Amino acid sequence: MKINFLLAAALAGLTGVLLGAFGAHGLRDMLSPAMLSVYKTGVDYHMWHALALMGVAVLMRHHSDVKLLRYAAWFFLSGIVVFSGSLYLLACLNMTWLGMITPLGGVSLIGGWAMLALFALKHKVMVSDGNEKTESE
């Protein structure tokens, strides 16, 4: 399946801002402070990983060997959906059983960072004087 990860990152950022605004303005009087905190955690991880996904998408456009980056992108995207999504549903709908799948989303986010680290090690990505250099170039 082909996917434009830069577009996916942009849409993830867009939905993160929308859901954050909804939480701050629409839910603050409807949820307990504890559930509002759960919701905010979902937004925080959503936004940070939308940025990570954007970084991976940009790297994919500058490297020919993108297998590890593709894995990282899929891990980040699925982690946003499962981790943050389960926290949103838990906070808003009190679906406590979702607490069991939230860690799977967390593992997916960790997998994204691991794939990105492996990519950096494999390509010996170094930044010096503002110019990116890899051993393969």
Assigned domain for 75 exists: yes
Q: In the structure encoding, which two tokens stand for residue 52, read together?
A: 């990570």
Q: pLDDT tens across 73-130, in order? A: 999 999 999 999 999 999 999 988 988 999 999 999 999 999 999 999 998 866 666 5
> Which among 104, 102, 108, 111 is positioned nearest to 84, based on CA atoms?
102
Task: Report the pLDDT averaged over residues 27-54.
Answer: 96
Which pTM was predicted? 0.88
Domain count, the chain: 1
76 inside domain: yes
Does the residue 129 lie in any domain? no
Average pLDDT over residues 31-39: 96
| Residue span of the structural domain in which 17 resides | 5-124
